[in-house]
Structure 1
Amino acid sequence: MPRYAPNKVPTAVKKRYFELLREGYKGAAAAREVGVSTSCGSLWFIDAGSMLVPDTAPISPRFLTQDDRIAIADGLHADQTVKVIAASIDKSYQTVYREIGRNSKPDGRYQPWWAHNQALLRRSRPKEHKIRAGASLRKLVRDKLNEQWSPQQVARPAEVEDRRTAGHWEGDLIIGRAQSSAIGTLVERTTRYLRLIHLPGGWKAPQVRNALVVQTADIPWELRRTLTWDQGRELTLREDIEVLTGFRIYFCDPHSPWQRGANENTNGLLRQYFPKGTDLAVHTARDLQAVARQLNTRPRLVLGDKTPEEAMREWSKHLSPS
């Protein structure tokens, strides 16, 4: 019976090995069935995280399957672009980009069985209800109900959600051609005031950290409350950013763009100036300032026909002197 080196075995053989494990085969029996040594199969199993999470059929077509993840890994191995890989599995570019960032191994490799396990673990992880997890919140709800408040009156959106206080920002990146360039976008939730972050050195975590620290330094401390960002590896140094800027950083839940609604809407407007598939590195810091100025002086219906600049100016008047 043929034997293969672990890293030179066709993907189809590995796929069948893990299918057999999911069907209940022991490791040695599965290895024997696909024609590799037990030690070879063991190496695959360890590389996949030494576990196989039960896999039910996807509950929604937006979820990636094991086959999708295998195709992503094969595409990356063949040096295909994310756009090409996404088209091959009929998924959006953003879905594949997030998948690679979220489910790669700690060493940066994208291993499809590891990635599938991680996704299944997150999908099945029970989430404790907020009211059950917080004693102070339970007490507050109980007290207000005892005071004859209705349930609707008891439910008070967090300060960051009610848009009554300035200083809560939403952030993201718009990515240029071939993922080789990017521009950071920051939108203040209450005023819709826009900051564009120049990233001439690239958009890996150190460059994004440095750019955010330097390019938000002139924002008054009272207006640096929170920053809500999309799921992405570019903010893996968030602890540094929090210490150096004063922002408290939060991340959106997966597949929840509405948690950054102001930023998503603004990114759509920005595509008038920075079309998809173009090289964003050609734009200077001065170019970005000019675009931000143009959008910040455009009246917005959501602001009662005020401009973001006017709304921000009104808030700034109420800040305590430094």
Structure 2
Amino acid sequence: MSNREACRIVGIDERTGQKWRNGRHAYGNRKALPPIDVVAAPSGPSRYLRETDRIHIADRLREKATIRVIAAELGRSPSTVSREVRRNRTMGTRGQWHYRPHAAQARADARRPRPKPRKISQTPELRDEVQGMLEEKWSPEQICHALRARFPDRPEMHVVHETVYQALYVQGRGQLRRELAGALRCGRARRRPQRQANRRRPRFTTPMVMISERPAEAADRAVPGHWEGDLIIGKDGKSAIGTLVERATRYVMLLHLPGDHSAEAVLGALTATVQTLPAQLMRSLTWDQGSEMARHGEFTLTTDIPVYFCDPASPWQRGSNENTNGLLRQYFPKGTDLSHHSSEHLIAVADQLNRRPRKTLGWETPAQRLHKLLTA
């Protein structure tokens, strides 16, 4: 609207409205005053932008405010505001883009109703392609990339892997449901719920030293002696084998736990294993927050080795150990009783892994890399 029309609607003088919009002009010895800086109240706990938020965005865009400034005023992420403006802007009569809050609100309301028709169910050709790849034991992520390579110029044939999972778990009916266990590698007939990390209760009450306090020399893998540990669990959770991996060399050691994997059993096996190593090869140990490490304080007092704990639901903070556990499943498959394996067999398995060339080590073996670091 023009300044005159806006002032008429609001009920103020045109000159007053001009000052409100553009700031007071300088005259005489007075400096120009800036425009009125209206800061909206934070949006609060609402997940979605509300109409008042959109009105504030439109006002501040007219005042040439940046996206980051607007986001800070609303208490939102800059990407949220940027995405809102990009998705809900409209083309003006003069070929210019404008952001209109009420039209943006109407668009958002129209997109929100659920359930929505799903892409795979609406496109028979896409459904046949996905089903054929699933029958070939392809993962949803492999299907996603294969469709983009096979149909580069047809967006209607492109999906993300989450769309495939949704079609299997949410839409699965009849024959699709019966084939589900054989279609996915995990073999699950229903989706496993994931607990949120901030809602997980601690496994033990002993004070923990978190991984954020671990020395920098452990993070860059420059100095040997920093280890990562975990358990691989056997059938029905009744048996386990402890795993230790050295971060710089990927050298593997296995803990024999024939009876159980309680905190006391893990403490004894872990203490006996690390005492066979030279002092310069045992500087720290990183573990997850499993209950088997409830007596980590006693372990530190006995061995003088600090224990650092990963954040909840953060297995990537022990990446070397997680990768090694996957390799060990070739020797100790899931769903088998691990208590039948003797300590001699565990030593032989670890020795075989330590003599296997690794790409991440420049095709050296962990044993060779460890020997090289020790001699240096």
Aligned to 1:266: 324
Using the alignment, how far apart are the partners of 2:225 and 2:289 within structure 1?
21
Residues 211-235 of structure 1, C-alpha deviations (whole Å, 9 max, x = no match): 0011221111111111100110100
How do 1:46-85 and structure 2 match up within 5 A? none
**Tell me, what secondary structure is at the counterpart of 2:236?**
helix
Amino acid at match of 2:311: D
Paired with 2:199 and 2:343, the residues of 1 have a C-alpha distance of 29
Decide whether the 8 Å contact of 1:101 with 1:233 is kept in 2. no
Distance 1:205 1:300, change over 3 A: same
1:298 maps to 2:356: yes
| Identity rate, percent | 51
Q: 2:315 aligns with which of 248, 257, 263?
A: 257
SS at match of 1:228: strand
TM-score with structure 1 setting the length: 0.52
In structure 1, stretches of 5+ residues that fail to align are 1-86, 107-129, 135-156
Aligned counterparts of 1:258 and 1:267: Cα–Cα separation in 2 = 13
Match of 1:178?
236
Assess if the C-alpha contact under 8 Å between 2:204 and 2:294 holds in 1: no
Query: Any conservation in 2 of the 1:227–1:250 contact (CA below 8 Å)?
Result: yes
Shift of 1:207: 0.5
Structure 2 unaligned residues grouped into runs of 5+ = 1-187, 206-211
- Cα deviations by residue, 1:98-148 (Å, 9 ceiling, x for unpaired): 999945797xxxxxxxxxxxxxxxxxxxxxxx8xxx9xxxxxxxxxxxxxx
The CA deviation at 1:90 is: 3.9
**Contact 1:274/1:280 (CA < 8 Å) preserved in 2?**
yes
**2:192 is matched with which residue?**
91
Partner in structure 2 of residue 201 of structure 1 = 259
- 1:167 equivalenced with 2:225 (yes/no): yes
The Cα offsets for residues 247-297 of structure 1, whole Å up to 9 and x where unpaired, read as 210011011111100000000000000000100000000010010000000
CA distance in 2, matches of 1:99, 1:233: 18
Larger radius of gyration: 2
Are the counterparts in 1 of residues 203 and 291 from structure 2 also a CA contact under 8 Å?
no
Pair 1:89–1:274, CA change in 2 (3 A): same
Retained in 2: the 8 A contact 1:296–1:307? yes
- Alpha-carbon distance, 1:245 to partner: 2.0
Q: Distance in 1 between matches of 2:240 and 2:201?
A: 19
* Counterparts of 1:170 and 1:104, CA distance in 2: 19
After superposition, the C-alpha distances for 1:165-188 in whole angstroms (9 at most, x for unaligned) are 000000000000011100000000
Residues 1-322 of structure 1 aligned to structure 2 (within 5 Å): 90-91=191-192, 102=201, 158-318=216-376
How big is the shift at 1:190?
0.3
What's the secondary structure of 2:320's corresponding residue?
Answer: helix
Distance 1:102 1:232 in 2: 11
Inter-partner Cα distance in structure 2 for 1:202 and 1:100? 28
Aligned length: 182
Which residue type is aligned with residue 289 of structure 1? I
